[in-house]
Amino acid sequence: MGRIDTSKFVNKNADSLSIVDELKADDEVVEKLTTLGVSKEEIERYATIIYRYKLSKDQCKTCKGLDKCEADSYHNSTDLAIGDAGEVICTFGPCKKQAARDTVSDAYLDRCFPDEWLTAIPSQSQTKRMGKVMTVLKKAVASKDKKWVYLTGDTGTGKSYILASFCNVLASKGTKISFIDANQKFGELRSLSMDKFKRTAFESEMNKLQTVRVLVIDNFGSEFKSEYVINTVLRPIINERAKNRLFTFFTSNYSLDDIATLYGTTPQAKLEISTIVSLIRKNIESETTVEDGIENYLYK
C-alpha cells in the first residue's frame, strides 16, 4: 500500500519554500483554504499540514477502487479544518468511496453476499439479456401491484450478483434490505422456533423479514423442506409481505413448478406449497430466466 512521503517536511529550507510555492499554485488547495478563511500569506506557516492534505487529495484523484487503495490511511482521506485555537488542522475520515460503501452496508439488515459486492452497481455496458433482467427489476420497483421478481437459472449465471448490484442502488438511497440465503436463514429460523427459550428471537427475526422494505430470498429451494418449514417460516413471511405489498425478490435454480414438486412430498405439504406458489405467481409478471452469457463477466 502506498505511503505519503513526509521527508520533505523535515526542514524549513529551499525544499520547504518550493512546497509553499507548489501549494500556492494549487487552485483546489487555495480554494479550500479560502473557504476556511485562510489567506495565501498563511500557507507557509501551515505548509506541513496543508501539504499532507494535498498529497492525500492527489492520491484519491487516481483511486483505482477500495480494494486497491494506496492512501496513507487505508480507505481514509485527509481534510483541513480550523481548530479551537483558530489554527489549521488535519482531520481524518472515510474517503468518499468508503463512506458510500458504509451507507450501502448499513442499509442491509441481513446480507449473505461478500463485502466485495457492496461496490457492485448495474453496469452501464449491459448486454441485451442483462438489460432485460434489469428492466424487470426496475419495473417491479415502480409497479403498484407486481412488486415481486422471481429470477431463475442455472448455477453460475450471476443471479445473486445481479440482484445484489441492483439492491445496492436502493441501499445507497437508504432503503432497508434483508438479503438472505434461504438455506441458511430458514434453517436458523427453524431452530429458533423449536427452542422455547429462543422464541422471542424467532419472533423478532420473523417480524423483520415480514416487514422490511425489500426482502431478497436467495437460493430459494435450497432450504430444508417440510410442512413445518412451510407453516412456521415460509407461509407467514410470504403471506404478510403479499398483504402489505412489500418488495420481494427471489433467486432460484428451480422454477416455481419445481418448487411445488420439491416441497409437495405429502398431500398436506403439496396443498400448502401450491397456495404459496400461487401467491408468488400472483405478485410477479412472470418467471425471469437469467441465461448464461457474456454478461456474467461484465458483472464480475
**Contact call for residues 189 and 233 (beta carbons, < 8 A):** yes
Which residue shows C-alpha cell 452501464? 124
What's the rounded Cα separation, in Å, for the pair 110 and 186? 13
Cell of 233: 417460516
User: How many other CB atoms are there within 10 angstroms of residue 172's CB atom?
Assistant: 15
Domains and CATH numbers, the chain: 7-94 (no CATH), 101-298 (3.40.50.300)
What's the rounded Cα separation, in Å, for the pair 51 and 43? 9
Angle at 265 between CA 261 and CA 267, to 5 degrees: 105
- Residue 180 pairs in a beta bridge with 217
**Contact call for residues 283 and 144 (beta carbons, < 8 A):** no
Going residue by residue through the chain, which has 300 residues, state the pLDDT in tens, using 9 for 90 and above: 333 344 444 344 445 558 888 888 888 888 988 999 989 888 888 888 888 888 877 777 776 666 665 555 556 677 889 988 889 888 877 667 777 788 899 999 999 999 989 988 887 546 677 788 899 999 999 999 999 999 999 998 989 999 999 999 999 999 999 999 999 999 999 999 999 999 999 999 999 999 999 999 999 999 999 999 999 999 999 999 999 999 999 999 999 999 999 999 899 999 999 999 999 999 999 999 998 865 554 444
Helices 96-107 and 159-171 cross at an angle (nearest 10°) of 100
